[in-house]
Amino acid sequence: MESVSTQPHHPAHKSHELSAVTIRFCGDSGDGMQFTGSEFTRVSALAGNDLQTLPDYPAEIRAPVGTLAGVSGFQVQFSSAPVFTPGDAPEVLVAMNPAALKSNLADLVRSGTLILNSGAFTKQNLDKAGYTSNPMEDGSLAAYRVHAIDISKLTATALADTGLSAREIARAKNMFALGLMLWMYSRPMEATVKFLEQKFAKMPDVAAGNVKALKAGYYFGETAEIFTETFVVRAAELPKGTYRSISGNEATALGLVATSELSGLKVFLGTYPITPASDILHELSKHRNFNVNTFQAEDEIAAVCASLGASFGGSLGVTSTSGPGVALMQETISLALTVELPMLVINVQRGGPSTGLPTKTEQADLLQAIFGRNGEAPLPVLAASGPADCFDAVLEAARVAIRHMTPVILLTDGFIANGQEPWKLPEAEQLAKFAPKFRTDPKDYHVYERDPKTLARAWVRPGTPGLEHRIGGLEKHKLTGNVSYDPDNHEEMVRTRAEKVARVADDIAPLSILGPKSGDVLVLGWGSTCGAIQQAVQQLQAKGHSISAVHLRHLNPLPKDLGEILARFKKVVIPELNLGQLQMLVRARYLVDAQGIHKIKGKPFRVSELKSALEGYLS
Amino acid sequence: MTETVQSKLTRKDFQSDQEVRWCPGCGDYVILAQVQKMMPELGIARENIAFVSGIGCSSRFPYYMNTYGFHTIHGRAPAIATGLKASRPDLQVWVVTGDGDALSIGGNHFIHVLRRNVDLKILLFNNRIYGLTKGQASPTSELGKKAKSTPYGTIDAPFNPMHLALGAGATFVARTSDADPVHMTEMLRRVAQHKGSAFLEILQNCVVFNDAAFESFTAKDMRASRQIYLEQGKPLVYAGGTKGLRLVDGHPEVLDLASGKAPGEPMIWNEQAEVSAAFALSTCAAPDFPEPVGVLRAVDAPVHHILQESQSDAVRKKLGAGNLAKLLTSGDTWTIS
C-alpha cells in the first residue's frame, strides 16, 4: 500500500472487545516516542481505562540516529480491569526503524502484532542496527503479524502541500503512527487534535501539519485493507470519583503543594537537576502562587543546605534528587538529624553505583538511606509504591518530619517517577492537616527539652523574642544544647536520637495483608514493586496456593506488627530490584530466614517472572 | 522588614552565656568584641538576627552571640544562610567564615552566593592558615609557605579573597584588620547597611600557627606607610600624604608626591566606579604597593530575596492565590459515577 485515498470509506472491519492490551512504541530518541506514548495514554485514560506506563529511554538526548543506543520506548498497558503494572510483554509493537525493532522484538509476545515503518528499513539503517538481511523480507518475523507500512512516505505525501520543511514533515511521522493506533483501538481523535493545536499554538503550520499526519494515520487504518479488525477496550470499573492521569514526579510535586497547605508552612524546595528527579522541580516551580518556593542551587550540597537553612527559619525544607545526589547530601542530612530539624529528602532512585543508569530504575539505595551517614545517624525512611501513591507518601513523610523533628528520606524510583496511572483525586478538604506548633514561650526554655511522647524537641522560629539560641553539629548537652564533650552525655544523646526515630513506629497503622493472615509463603515488598507483586500473588492465590503479600511504606523504623506477621508464615520471600537490601535488614532484625528474588537490569519486575520465581517456594 | 527595637540594647545584650574558647591573644576576640559593640547601633532586635557559620576557629562565633545562631558544617554556611534568608527575608543574616571554610571547601557556595547577591553579611576571618586542624597551609597561604602539611613550602598559588569576590560579582567588597578595631567597626557598619551580599575580609592574626602574618603592614607604626585607606570621594594617598596611587592602563602606580615631580594626580576613590578599578586596587600588595583597606566596591544591584518575592507576587497576580482543590482537578480529568 503506497498511496491511499484521503476520503474515508467504510470497509467492514470486525471490532473485537479486549480486556487489556499492552502496546510499546519505539523509535529513535528524536522520533517523539515518549510524546506519542504519553498522548495515547492520555486518550486511553480519558476513555476510562485503568492503565500504567513504562517510559524507557536512553540517557543520551540524541544518540546517533538509527543506532541501537538511541532507541527510545514507551510501553502502556490499558485495561477494562484493574491494572497493576505496565504489562509484562507488549502484544503490539510499533517500531519506527530497524534499531527499534532489533532492541525490542524479543519482548513482543509470540504472534503479537508488529507495525513497522518500512520506509526506515533502508540499507543504511539496517547496517546501523546490525542486520545483515532485511527482517521484513528474510522470514525472521514469521511468528508475528507484521504490518509493514511506509509511514515516512505516507506522512510526506499527506503533508506535501503544507509548506512544512522536509525536517518538520519527518518529525510528524509519529503522529501518523499515533493516528493509526487510535483507529485500531477505536479511540476518538478530538482530544489529540485539541492538544496538538494547543501545544503548537505559536506555530499554526506545525499544528496543522501534525493534525493532518494524525488524521492521515487514522484514515489509513480505516481505509487500507491490510487491517481486518479493530479493538475495543472498555472503560474500567474503577471506584467512583474524579480521576486524572499522573506520573510519580508530578504526584510528588503536588504532594509538596498539599504539604504547604496542610501544614501551614512554606515549602522550600532546594534542589539540583538530576535524572530522573528533575521533573519534581519543573512541576513545583510552576506553582509559586502557593506558599512554595523553589531554588535551583549550585550543587546538591548547596541544595540540601539551603533546604536545611529554610527549615531552621521555620519553613519545611525539601530536596529532590537521585542516589548520586544523596551521596553528596549525607553530611548535611546528618547535621539536620543532630540539630533535630524537620526536612524532607526525596530520592528518585536510579541504577547505580556512581553515574550508573541515569534513566533506568533500581531499588538499590535503601541501605544508603538507612545507614549511609557517619556515626549513629538514624532517620525515618519511607517509600512510595506507585505513581499516584507518591502524593500520599509525600504527605506521610512530611507529617513524620514535622511531628518528630527529624529529616526523613522518601524513596521513589525512575519507574514510578516517570510512569503514569489514573489517580483518583482526593477531596482537598478531607486531607488531614498537620500544622506544627512553634514554641513561643520563653519561660524555662531549653533547646533540647523533649516532648515526653515523641522525644521531639520544640521548633522555634528565629524572630521569636526571648528564645534566641544556638544549634550546631557538635555534640550538645542533652537539655541546654550547649556544646558538650561529656562521654555519658554523648551516649545518652545517641540513644535518645535512636529512640526518637524508633518511636515513629508508634504512629504506623497496622499492616494490611493481601490474602490469608498465615500460610506457606509471605511475599514482602517495598516501593515500586507493589503492583507486580500484588498481581503475581493474586494469580498464585487463584491457583489455590497458600501465599500472601505485605507491602511496606515504612522502611525505618519498620512497623511494629511486622515481626509477628513474618512468624505466621513458613517462608518469607522478598523481591527487590537490588541484591537483597530489605532482605538483609529483615534477616538481621527478625532472625528470619528470608529469601530474596533479585533483579538488577534497570527494569521493573514482570509479573510472569515474579510468578515463576515465587512458584519455586510453593510446594 | 527587620523591626527596630524600642529599648536600647547594649554590647552586653549580644554576649551569650558561653565561655569564649579561642586561644589567648587570638584576633577573633577583637572581631567578636567589635561586632558585639556595633550590633546595638543597628537598632535591630536580637531575635531578628541570625549568625550562621561553617567549621573552623572563626565558625565558633555564633555560640558567643546572643542571637539566633547555627554552627553548621565545613564550607556550607553560605548555602545554609541562603535558604534561611530566602525563607525568612525579615531576618538579618550574618555568615562568619574563614579562609579554609570559605575559599577551599566552600569555594563553590562562596562564589554563588555572591553572584546571586543574597542579602548576607559575610565576614571572612583570613589568617592564611588552618588553625582548628593545627597548622596546615590554607588557600590564602603565600606561595612557598612552610606549614605542617607543606614542610618544603606550598606550591599552590594563593587566592586573593577580594579579587575572587569581585570576580564573582560581589556588590560589596571591603577589607579591614583585627589590628585596627576603629576601622573594623566602620567597615562592620557599612556591611550591615549594604543591601545584598556584603563581603568583608578581616585580616586576622593566628597567634599559634601563623603569628604576625600581617604585622609588616597592620602594626600600628606601619599602617600609615604600608596601608592605603580607601575612602569614598577622597584621593588615594598614604604615608602622610607623601605617596599616592593612580591607575595607568588599569595598573596601579605609586606616585611620589613629596618630590613634587609626580607624573600625575592620585586617583579619587569611587567605590561605585567600574569594577576594573576595584580589581586593580585588590591586587595591590606589600612590599611594592600599599595594602588596601576600606571599601573596594559598593554598588546597588537586584537582591535575591526581593527578586524572588516579586516573582512570587507576579505569579500570584497572574494565576490567583493558590487553591489546592482547583490545582488537583486541573488538567484532563474524568469522572466515574
Domains along the sequence of chain A with CATH: 3-232 (3.40.920.10), 244-430 (3.40.50.970), 513-615 (3.40.50.920)
- For residue B4, name the pLDDT band (cuts at 50, 70, 90): low
Average confidence (pLDDT) over A274-278: 97
d(CA B129, CA B125): 11
What does the pLDDT read at residue A226? 79
Question: Residue A15 gets which letter from DSSP?
Answer: E
A259-272 confidence digits (pLDDT tens):
999 999 999 999 99
- The strand pair at A292-296 and A267-271 is best described as parallel
SS (H, E, C) A148-171: EECHHHHHHHHCCCCCCCHHHHHH
Contacts of B308 in chain A (CB under 8 A): 293
pLDDT at B331 > cutoff 50: yes
Which residues, other chains included, contact A71 with Cβ-Cβ below 8 Å and sequence gap of 6+?
A26, A27, A28, A29, A58, A99, A100, A103, A104
What does the pLDDT read at residue B6? 53
Q: What is the CATH number of domain B11-213?
A: 3.40.50.970
- Judge whether A514 and A537 are in contact, CB under 8 Å: yes
- Extract the runs of DSSP E, i.e. beta strands, from A285-383: 292-296, 316-321, 343-349, 381-383
Give the three cell numbers for residue B195.
Answer: 543591601
- Nearest C-alpha neighbor of A322 from the set A355, A284, A367: A355
- Judge whether A359 and A61 are in contact, CB under 8 Å: no
Site from B14, B61, B84, B316 to mutate, A interface, most A CB atoms within 10 angstroms: B84
- Judge whether A309 and A256 are in contact, CB under 8 Å: no
* Cα of A606 vs its chain's centroid, Å: 16
* Closest partner CB to B88 (pick from A257, A313, A332): A313
Q: Which residue of A has its CA nearest to B321?
A: A289
pLDDT at A323 > cutoff 50: yes
Give the three cell numbers for residue A309.
Answer: 537553612
d(CA A39, CA B134): 63
- Judge whether B83 and A305 are in contact, CB under 8 Å: yes
d(CA B269, CA B273): 8
- Nearest C-alpha neighbor of B301 from the set B194, B164, B199: B194
Paired strand residues for A51 = A78
Inter-chain contacts counted by CB atoms under 8 A, chains A and B? 203
What does the pLDDT read at residue A12? 56
B325 CB within 8 Å of a chain A CB: yes
Average confidence (pLDDT) over A483-502: 98
d(CA A65, CA A55): 19
- Extract the runs of DSSP E, i.e. beta strands, from A339-386: 343-349, 381-383
Phi, psi at A612, each rounded to 5°: -70, -35
Share of chain A above pLDDT 90, in %: 93
d(CA B122, CA B62): 13
Average confidence (pLDDT) over A250-265: 98
ipTM above 0.90, yes or no: yes
A562-596 confidence digits (pLDDT tens):
999 999 999 999 999 999 999 999 999 999 999 99
- Nearest C-alpha neighbor of B267 from the set B298, B236, B294: B236
Half-sphere exposure of A260 (CA within 13 A, CB side): 25
A25-41 confidence digits (pLDDT tens):
999 988 999 999 999 99
What is the sign, positive or negative, of the torsion defined by CA atoms of B109, B112, B117, B118? negative
Domain spans, chain B: 11-213
- Judge whether B207 and B185 are in contact, CB under 8 Å: no
- Judge whether B59 and B53 are in contact, CB under 8 Å: yes
pLDDT at A348 > cutoff 70: yes
A57-66, A124-133, A554-563, B317-326: least confidently modelled range: A57-66
Long-range contacts of A590-599 (CB under 8 A, 24+ apart): A590/A562, A590/A563, A590/A566, A592/A566, A592/A567, A594/A524, A594/A566, A595/A571, A597/A573, A599/A575
d(CA A424, CA A318): 25
Using CA atoms, how far residue B317 sits from A26, B286, B321, in Å, is: 42, 56, 8
A135-163 confidence digits (pLDDT tens):
999 999 999 999 999 999 999 999 999 99
The reply to whether omega before A442 is within 30° of 0 (cis) is no
pLDDT at B171 > cutoff 90: yes
- Judge whether A113 and A563 are in contact, CB under 8 Å: no
Q: Which residue of B has its CA nearest to A237?
A: B336
The reply to whether omega before A342 is within 30° of 0 (cis) is no
Chain A neighbours among B 9-68 (CB < 8 Å)? 16, 18, 45-48, 50, 52, 62-63, 65-68
d(CA B118, CA B33): 26
Q: Strand B333-336: give its sheet, edge to edge.
A: A420-424, A241-247, B333-336
- Residue A157, classified by CB atoms within 10 Å of its CB into exposed (0-12), middle (13-18) or buried (19+), is middle
B24-80 confidence digits (pLDDT tens):
999 999 999 999 999 999 999 999 999 999 999 999 999 999 999 999 999 999 999
Q: Which residue has the cell 518530619?
A: A401
Site from A287, A300, A470 to mutate, B interface, most B CB atoms within 10 angstroms: A470
Instruction: Let me know how long chain B is.
Output: 337
pLDDT at A174 > cutoff 90: yes
**How is B218-259 classified by DSSP, letter by letter?**
HSHHHHHHHEEEE-TTSB-EETTTTEEEEEETTEEEEEE-TT
- Extract the runs of DSSP E, i.e. beta strands, from A262-401: 267-271, 292-296, 316-321, 343-349, 381-383
Share of chain B above pLDDT 70, in %: 98
* Cα of A428 vs its chain's centroid, Å: 23
User: What does pTM read for this prediction?
Assistant: 0.94
B188-207 confidence digits (pLDDT tens):
999 999 999 999 999 999 99
3-state class of A75 per DSSP?
Answer: strand
Contacts of B82 in chain A (CB under 8 A): 295, 297, 302, 305-306, 309
B304 CB within 8 Å of a chain A CB: no
Closest chain A C-alpha to B100 CA, distance in angstroms: 17
What does the pLDDT read at residue A120? 96
- Nearest C-alpha neighbor of A358 from the set A308, A323, A393, A317: A323
Chain A neighbours among B 70-129 (CB < 8 Å)? 70-73, 76, 79-88, 90-91, 108-109, 112
B303-319 confidence digits (pLDDT tens):
999 999 999 999 999 99
d(CA B126, CA A155): 68
Contact (CB<8Å) B334/A472: no
pLDDT at A338 > cutoff 90: yes
Task: Work out the angle between the directed axes of helices A300-312 and A323-339 (0-180°, nearest 10).
Answer: 30
Contacts of B315 in chain A (CB under 8 A): 288-289
Share of chain B above pLDDT 90, in %: 95
Site from A312, A315, A339, A425 to mutate, B interface, most B CB atoms within 10 angstroms: A312
pLDDT at A10 > cutoff 60: no
What does the pLDDT read at residue A237? 87
